[in-house]
Structure formats: structure tokens, C-alpha cells
């Protein structure tokens, strides 16, 4: 069963669930309340995730004082941000 660790957003495979309200993930125990469970991994809203990742990338670019970034057109920075988001989603989906 797949779950997302709420604190980090990391998608993990749950190895076991226990009556005491814990789940085993990668040899570590989490409270069930610390996880969001997915019946099906594809229930993730990938468009929303794409938006969040592109937004975070854009914030990173905009806070970078490197001259290449400072000289870049805002449309180019937007394209870079979307490209980074798409690449990360591809990796998260295991492709």
C-alpha cells in the first residue's frame, strides 16, 4: 500500500499496519496520523502536484542572485520551472 509522509511529502510503500496505530515504512515506525494513504497511487492529483513543484522551482529561481537568472526573461524562468516540475513528476512516477 502506498502512502505519503505528511511532513515531507515523500511517497512510500507501507510494509505493515499495526493495531497500536503505527505503520512500518522502510524499517521505521510512523503514527498512522503522520501518513496519507492511497488506495491507488494514481489517485494523486498530478496537475496539483505539478503546480506546487513549478511554484517551488520558480521561488528558487527568483531568489537566486546568479547573473544568468537575473538576466533571464520571466517567461524563460517560468519554462524552466515547469520543466523542473515535469522532470520530478516523471521520477516520482518511476518512469
- Tell me: the pLDDT tens digits for 5-30? 999 988 898 999 998 889 999 999 99
Tally of CB atoms within 10 A around 81: 20
User: Residue for cell digits 510512523?
Assistant: 30
pLDDT reported for residue 78: 93
Helices (H), 1-95: 46-62, 67-71, 74-92
Q: What pLDDT is stored for residue 42 in this prediction?
A: 55
pLDDT in tens, 54-83: 999 999 988 888 887 778 888 999 999 999
State whether the Cα torsion 43-47-52-54 is positive or negative: positive
Question: Would you kindly state where each structural domain of the chain is located, as residue ranges?
Answer: 2-40, 45-92
Strands 2-5 and 11-18, sheet pairing: antiparallel
Distance of alpha carbon 21 from alpha carbon 34, whole angstroms: 10
Amino acid at each position: 500500500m502506498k502512502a505519503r509522509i505528511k511532513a515531507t511529502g515523500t511517497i512510500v510503500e507501507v510494509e505493515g499496519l499495526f493495531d497500536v496505530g503505527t505503520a512500518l515504512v522502510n524499517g521505521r515506525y510512523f503514527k498512522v496520523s503522520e501518513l496519507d494513504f492511497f488506495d491507488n497511487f494514481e489517485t494523486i492529483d498530478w496537475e496539483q502536484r505539478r503546480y506546487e513543484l513549478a511554484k517551488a522551482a520558480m521561488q528558487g529561481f527568483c531568489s537566486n542572485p546568479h547573473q544568468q537568472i537575473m538576466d533571464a526573461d520571466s517567461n524563460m524562468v517560468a519554462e524552466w520551472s515547469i520543466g523542473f516540475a515535469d522532470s520530478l513528476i516523471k521520477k516520482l512516477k518511476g518512469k
